[in-house]
Structures are given as C-alpha cells and as structure tokens.
Chains A and B, each alone.
Chain A
C-alpha cells in the first residue's frame, strides 16, 4: 500500500472506548477517501475497529499486529 496516510494516532495504552472514540474524533478532519492510521495496544480494539467500520461505513483497509501493537488503517467513507 503506497497511499499517503493523512493522520496517525498513537492510542497505545488506552482502554475501551478511547481508541475508537479518539479515532472518531480525528476522522472528522479528513475528507472522504483519506486514510487514518490508529495504533492501539488494547486487544479489544481488534473486534471493535471492525464493528466500528461496519457501523459507520468507513473501510478497514489494513490491520496488522507487531509486538503487541495493533495497527489499523481506515479509509473515511464517502
């Protein structure tokens, strides 16, 4: 993937519901189609980011894990 990421959020250490809530706050600044990257350590964020994308219509483009850090790349809907 070589698209530019518009915003990266460091949400490491935060518990539910803050990784989602902070991503929802930040994505408002993006234009539809732009990418946001969220880095979290809460294992619950894995199902939660999926559920959030289903609910909002944003697209979960990429989800990876590296030494306990979960990385989500999300494309703003529209």
Chain B
C-alpha cells in the first residue's frame, strides 16, 4: 500500500514547483444546451482564474445563450424567425440536452443548483467577463441565423470566423463543447 502511494505521489511532487506561464484555453461552444453551456462557463471562468488566456468561440447553437434575455424573436426572414421561436435565446431560456421534459428538467436542474449553491450561467458569465475571458461570437452563425449585434448581450468581442478561432487554438488547450 505504501509503495502504491509513493508511486502516485512522486510525479505530483515533481510537478508541484513548476509554474506554467503563458498557457491558453480555447473553448468552441457549439451547443446551446443548458447542461453543456454550464460547464463551458465553469471551465472558461476557471481557466481565466488560473491565469490562462481564455477565449470562448460561440458557434451554431452555442450562440443562442448570448442572446439577450429580453429579446423574443430574432432573424430577418421567416425561416430565421421561426428558428428563433422554436429555440429562444438567452441564458434564462436554455433547454437540457437530455431529460428536458418540456422545460421541467431545466427548472428542476436550476432548483437543485440553487440549493447546492452552484453558480448560475448568468453569474458565471459575469465573473468570466470580469476575469477577462474573451467571448467571441461566430460571424457566420450570426449571418446564418439573422442575429444582429443588438440581439446579443454586452461585453462581447468583435464577431470573428473559423480562422481566428483556429489561430487562437493553435497553441492552446482546446475544448469542443
């Protein structure tokens, strides 16, 4: 038993004094589901807290959590408008990837989170912005879904494309959520 512990402890001790500077975290936030955007915000906030230069690219469904909660319908043509009605944006209107049960799932999840003092996506987003996380909306998705800059919350970077995302990701820990 003692031998096992020693083996497990050894690499940790060797790593402990090393301070790894200049590391980066890039998250490609593809999903707008509550149970995916939540860990996205948790990891993004933590990355920035750890001193990592942290960027989150919001693309496809991942862009919807950045829609302002008071915006009801987005889009310029009827298809984009229909899409936004079937999938309303904003952190208050997110669905669960599984066990959604017409909104009962998210309500229960939020109640549990509240009871266990787990920070809400809104709180996490606020801390993330304060710690300097770069929140970058995908320009192509905005065009595709007819989202304008005014539909989205404050504090975002200028919209950008895949090249910007991949350039950032080149020397970064990269997650696709």
* A residues neighboring B (CB under 8 Å): 13-18, 20-25, 51-52, 54-57, 77
Task: Give which listed residue, B45, B51, B117, contacts A15 with CB less than 8 A.
Answer: B117
Query: What distance in Å separates the Cβ of A42 from its nearest Cβ neighbour in chain B?
Result: 9
* B residues neighboring A (CB under 8 Å): 15-16, 18-21, 23, 42, 45-46, 48-52, 116-119, 124, 127, 130-131
Q: Cβ of B42 and Cβ of A17 under 8 Å apart?
A: yes
Given contacts A15-B118, A20-B46, A55-B19, 7 further A-B contacts (CB under 8 A): A14-B117, A21-B45, A24-B50, A52-B49, A54-B16, A56-B19, A77-B19
CB within 8 Å for A13 and B117 given contacts A52-B49, A55-B50, A56-B51: yes
Q: Cβ of B42 and Cβ of A16 under 8 Å apart?
A: yes
Q: Cβ of A15 and Cβ of B119 under 8 Å apart?
A: yes
Interfacial chain A residues near B130, Cβ < 8 Å: 25
How many cross-chain pairs have Cβ atoms below 8 Å apart between A and B?
Answer: 57
Interface pairs A-B: 3 shortest CB-CB: A24-B49, A57-B19, A55-B50
Interfacial chain B residues near A23, Cβ < 8 Å: 49
Q: For the complex, would chain A's binding face be called helix, strand, loop or mixed by DSSP majority?
A: helix
**Assembly CA distance A13 to B115 (angstroms):** 10
| CB closest chain-B residue, reference A19 | B49
Query: What distance in Å separates the Cβ of A70 from its nearest Cβ neighbour in chain B?
Result: 15
**Assembly CA distance A41 to B42 (angstroms):** 18
CB within 8 Å for A15 and B116 given contacts A20-B46, A21-B131: yes
